[in-house]
Amino acid sequence: MLKLVQKFLQINRYSEIKNEFKDLFLSHPNYPSLFAITDSLDLLSVENAAVRVSKEQIVDLPSNFLAYFKEELILVEKAKNFVRINTIKKGSQKLSYEKFLLDWNGVIVAIEPNNVVARENLKVEFSWLKYGLPLLLIVGLSFYYNTYNVFSLVFLTTTILGFVVSIFIIQEKLGFKNSIISHICNLTSTSSCSDVINNKDGNENKWISFPDLPLIFFSASLISILIQPLDSAIFIGFLSLLAIPIIVSSIWIQKFEIQKWCVMCLMVSFLIFVQSIVWFASDLFTLSFSFENIFPFLFSVVLLVPIWMVLKSMIKSVLGTENSLKEMKKFKRNYSLLNFLSKKVPYPKGFEDLRGLNFGNRNAAVKLSVIISPSCEHCHNTFHEAFDLVLRFPDKIFLSVLFNINPENADNPYKVVVERLLTINRSTPGKTVEAISDWHIKKIGLKKWLKKWHVDNVSIMINQEIQKQYEWCSKNNFNYTPVKIVNERLFPNEYELSELKYFLNDFVEEVQILEKTA
C-alpha cells in the first residue's frame, strides 16, 4: 500500500515528500487504513479528498486517483480507451472502462497536483553523478596505469554491471526500496525479487548469506581488475566457470521451490555466465595461475568480507532502531494516550478574559495558548513551533500568546519587551508578527530589538493586562515557562508542541461531537 501511495504522490509531483509521508503513514495509529493515508496527507498540507462517487462520474474524475477495486486499494491512471491499474499483488494491468467499473465500489482518494515544477529527475541525475564520478575517476586512473585489451574490457564492463546489480540486491534484502528496481522486479505475476531474496534459506543467522555473495564476488573482481586487468580477468573467468553449478541451483530454486523469478538474480547469473563463456572461448584459459595473478582477488576478498560483515551489522542495527522508533511513534500518536496525559488547568476561571497576541482563525477547532517569558530560552522554541503550526494549518489552529512576567519587578530588563509587544499589538497590529518574530525566532538581541521597536509610551491598560496574566499564572502555580494549553487542557510535557499536528483531526472531530451534543 505504501508503494502505491508513494507512486501516486510521485505522479502528482510530490516526490520531495515521499519519505516524509512514509514516516507519518507507518507511524500512524490507524495504519494501514484509508484514514491513515488521508490524515498523513493532511499533515503534509496536501489537498486531498476521500469520497464515494457514482460510477457515471468517472469521466469527470482526475487523470489519476486511488480507488478500491475488488476490496483492494489500487492506483488508477486514466487513458482514452482504458484504465491502467496498479495493484499490490499483481502489479500493473490494463482494463477496459467497463471491466473496471464492474468491480469498483466508487470510493476514491484524489489529491491536488503540485504546481511547483518537480526536480526529481535532476535529483536522480545528481545522485548518479555523485556515485558514478568517483568510479569513473578510479577506472580512468586504471586505464592510465594499465593496459587493457578486448578480453579485459569485457570483464571490466560485466563486473561493473554485476557490482551495480549486487547493490540493488542488497538494498532489497535490507529493505531499502528503489522505485525503478521495484518496477522491473514486478513486471509479471511470476516475478518477485523480494520473495526470492528474502526467502528463508536457513542461513539467516549466518554472517554471510546468499544475497551477499554477488556483492563480495563483483566487488573483489572490480578491485582486482582495476589493479591488474588481464591476469585478474583470467582468474575471474575461471571462477565464473566454477560458479555455474551455483547458478543452476539458483535457477532451480526459483523455478520449482519458490516459483518466483528474481530478475536481478537472473541478471547476475547471466553476467557470470557471460564471463565464463568469454573465458572458455578465449585461448587464455589454458594459462596457469601464479600467486601473483590471483593475489589481487584474494586480497580484495580478505579485505572486503570483514568490512562488509561489520557494515551490514551496523545497517541492520540502524534499521532495527528505526523500526522500533516507528512503533513508539505509533503508540505515542494514539489520541487516547494524549487525552490521558493531558491534565485540566487547575483554575481556568478568567482564562478567556486574558488578552494576548492572537494569530490564526478565531473559529478554529484547536485553541492553542502558550504562556511564555521573553527571558526564557525554551520559550523561543515553543513560540517558533506554535507559530509554525499556525502557518501550516491556519484554518485549524488559533494561537494565543500570553506572558508570565512580574510587572512589579523593575530589575527585570526583559519586562519592556512584553510591554512593547502588547503596545504594538494594540496600536499597530500589522507589525505584531514581525516584532515577536524578531525576538523569539530571529533572536536579534535586547539592545537591537529595543532600538528597532521603539514605542512612545506604555499605557496603564497594558500594565493592567500584564498584571492580570501574571496573577492568573500565579493562581494556577505556573511559576515556570513555557506553559502550553490546548482547548483548556495542559499539553503534556511528554510531547513536543510540534507533535500537535498529529492530532488536529482528532481535536476537530471531538469539537464537532461536543457541538452536536450541546
What is the DSSP secondary-structure string of 284-306? Answer: TTTSPP-HHHHHHHHHHHHHHHH
| Residue-range domains of the chain with CATH | 2-111 (3.90.70.10), 149-327 (1.20.1440), 342-517 (3.40.30.10)
- The predicted pLDDT at position 492 comes to 93
Determine the Cα–Cα distance for residues 401 and 360; give it in Å rounded to an integer: 12
Largest Cα separation within the chain, whole Å, is: 103
Determine the Cα–Cα distance for residues 368 and 156; give it in Å rounded to an integer: 63
Determine the Cα–Cα distance for residues 64 and 84; give it in Å rounded to an integer: 9
- Whether residue 66 contacts residue 74, with contact meaning beta carbons closer than 8 Å, is answered with yes
- The predicted pLDDT at position 136 comes to 86
What 3-state DSSP class applies to 501? helix
pTM of structure: 0.62
- The predicted pLDDT at position 285 comes to 63
- Whether residue 396 contacts residue 361, with contact meaning beta carbons closer than 8 Å, is answered with yes
Determine the Cα–Cα distance for residues 299 and 260; give it in Å rounded to an integer: 36
Determine the Cα–Cα distance for residues 284 and 13; give it in Å rounded to an integer: 53
Determine the Cα–Cα distance for residues 27 and 325; give it in Å rounded to an integer: 9
Phi, psi for residue 75 in degrees, rounded to 5: -105, 125
Phi, psi for residue 327 in degrees, rounded to 5: -65, -40
Sign of CA dihedral 143, 149, 155, 160: positive
* Residue-level length of the chain: 518
- Whether residue 43 contacts residue 24, with contact meaning beta carbons closer than 8 Å, is answered with yes
Whole-angstrom CA distances from 150 to 197, 232, 279 are 34, 14, 12
| CA angle at 380 for the pair 379 and 385, rounded to the nearest 5° | 95
Q: Omega into 32 within 30° of 0, i.e. cis?
A: yes
Per-residue cell: 245: 553449478
pLDDT in tens, the chain (518 residues): 788 888 888 888 887 788 788 888 887 777 788 888 888 888 887 888 888 888 888 888 888 999 988 888 899 998 888 888 888 777 778 888 888 888 888 888 998 887 754 444 445 445 566 677 888 888 899 898 888 999 999 999 999 999 999 998 888 888 776 666 776 777 776 787 878 887 765 445 556 778 889 999 999 999 999 999 988 888 999 999 999 998 999 899 888 888 888 889 999 999 999 999 998 888 766 666 777 778 889 999 999 999 999 998 888 888 888 777 777 777 888 888 899 999 999 999 999 999 999 999 999 999 999 999 998 889 999 999 999 999 989 889 999 999 999 988 888 899 999 999 999 999 999 999 999 999 999 999 999 999 999 988 889 999 999 999 999 999 999 988 999 999 989 999 889 999 999 898 888 888 888 777 76
Alpha helices (runs of H) in 57-192, residue ranges in sequence order: 97-103, 120-145, 150-174, 179-185
Determine the Cα–Cα distance for residues 152 and 144; give it in Å rounded to an integer: 15
DSSP state for residue 218 in the 8-state scheme: H
Beta-carbon count within 10 A of 336 CB: 9
